[in-house]
Copies of this chain bind each other. A is one copy, B any other.
Amino acid sequence: MTAARPFRSDPPVADLAALFAQVRAFSMALVEGLSDADATVQSMDDASPAKWHLAHTSWFFETFVLRDLPGYRPFDPAFAYLFNSYYEAEGPRHPRPQRGLLTRPSLADICAYRAHVDAAMAGAMAMLTPDQAALIELGLAHEQQHQELLLTDLLHLFAQNPLHPAFRPQRREPAPPPPPMGWRDGAEGVVEIGHAGPGFAFDNEGPRHRVLLAPHRLADRPVTAGEWAAFIADRGYQTPRWWLADGWAFIQRERIEAPLYWQRDGEGGWLSFGLDGLHPVDPAAPVTHISLFEADAFAAWAGARLPTEFEWEAAAADHDPASGNFLDAPVAVRPLPGDHGLFGGVWEWTGSAYRPYPGFRPAAGAVGEYNGKFMSGQFVLRGGSCATPRGHARASYRNFFYPHQRWQFNGLRLASDPCS
């Protein structure tokens, strides 16, 4: 087993300053058109205000890079408290459920904060130690994660508004009918799992290690909204035998009968709310905004199961990127704004609990809290979604959420055992 090299590209990124500028600018592009109020309100404890995402990602650079540079003057000393997310090692912090109460600083103040950090970072780029460069690379991957959260949190906020505001209005072209779901044999025997190669990866993608896979098959595309509608029509949400016990309790308690953001159109069909407003559900699009519980129940209903994260990664690592095969679709993300749309890829729930790989050790210091401490109670998702920044995801990437969470662009792909 080679030593873990999390949070770092090898060789180093060629032009870190350019990457920095690009990622930071993309965050600003995302909030174009948001009002101060849009960027301030928090619609649930799981979500954060857009303004907070913009500030927290800047706090990351200020705290882990700039703070230690000679002569750096913090933009506002109070921000260390306000915009720490969960780093216990960095001291007390503003409680998460109260992020939406901060009407001050304003969105404009936060933009000024970003400019202050960006300027200081630009000045520092010429003389980075390798450790600092690695922290910056981590900070950019971190910011890309918050770019996706910013969009999903905003969608959740707008979905609470009876006026159904559209963040990025667009005319939806109906998707062509999807191909029938096909099956392909998955890898069998011992496979290598975990990040390898030159690019950046998070610590939780390693250490690379060997896993033994049993024979299995994988669907060649995600489950569609049309297929999901058939599950609903077959009383899938009313039939306990398809459900994990916790899932059944969850949908009873929350009175869930369809994916999040779906509503009946009054004529037997379904509407769904997205960043482009309220539209008829497109049966050809991948179903999304479902919990692991729903994904698992659907798979049981379909006589299949969810893939493990290892089955998924083995298939994704294997495929020829030029051939457009199954991994292609999920990560074929279109950048925002402009050509960003709601039809696109989805994160795919796997049947794997989010736990450390053999030999996993969190990094030393506060960044060691990045991933490892969340390794209980959550499930791994693989792939990438329409809201994932282009270039962010990879075959070894491990996304994770609690099994009841639904506000991400999460869908599923089926797997099955050979003789079932």
Contacts and interface: CB of A to CB of B under 8 A. Distances in A.
Nearest to A372: B244
A245 B103 contact: no
Contacts of A337: none
A65 interface: no
Contacts of A318: none
Number of copies: 4
B40 A94 contact: no
Interface stretch (A80-88, A196-204, A221-229): A80-88
A244 B374 contact: yes
Residue among A101, A103, A104 with max Cβ neighbours from chain B (10 Å) = A103
Interface stretch (A112-120, A267-275, A354-362): A354-362
Contact of A103 (B161, B305, B373, B403): B161
A164 to B, nearest CB: 10
B43 A41 contact: no
B353 A161 contact: no
A102 B162 CA distance: 8
Contacts of A36: 35-37
Interface in A255-299: 292-293, 296
Contacts of A241: 88-89, 368-369
Interface in A182-241: 190, 209-212, 214, 216, 240-241
A376 interface: yes
B358 A351 contact: no
Contact of A35 (B103, B244, B376): B103
Contacts of A361: 420
Contacts of A403: 376-377
Chain A, interface residues (CB within 8 Å), range: 35 or more
Nearest to A89: B241
Nearest to A159: B101
Contacts of A358: 214, 216, 417
Interface in A366-405: 368-369, 373-377, 379, 403
Given A88-B240, A375-B244, A94 B162 contact: yes
Contacts of A1: 214
A78 interface: yes
A374 to B, nearest CB: 5
A327 interface: no
A243 interface: yes
Contacts of A37: 35-37, 39-41, 103-104, 106-107
A51 to B, nearest CB: 8
Contacts of A105: 163
A163 B292 contact: no
A22 interface: no
Interface in A55-87: 78, 81-82, 86
Closest 10 A/B residue pairs (Cβ): A353-B353, A88-B240, A37-B40, A212-B212, A37-B103, A214-B358, A101-B160, A245-B373, A36-B37, A36-B36
11 contacts: A35-B103, A37-B37, A40-B40, A41-B101, A43-B101, A94-B162, A102-B161, A103-B158, A209-B214, A210-B212, A359-B417
Interface of A: 1, 35-41, 43, 78, 81-82, 86, 88-89, 94, 98, 100-107, 157-158, 160-163, 165, 190, 209-212, 214, 216, 240-241, 243-248, 292-293, 296, 305, 351-353, 355-356, 358-359, 361, 368-369, 373-377, 379, 403, 417, 420
Given A38-B103, A88-B241, A104-B163, 7 more contacts: A35-B106, A37-B106, A103-B165, A214-B359, A243-B373, A296-B376, A361-B420
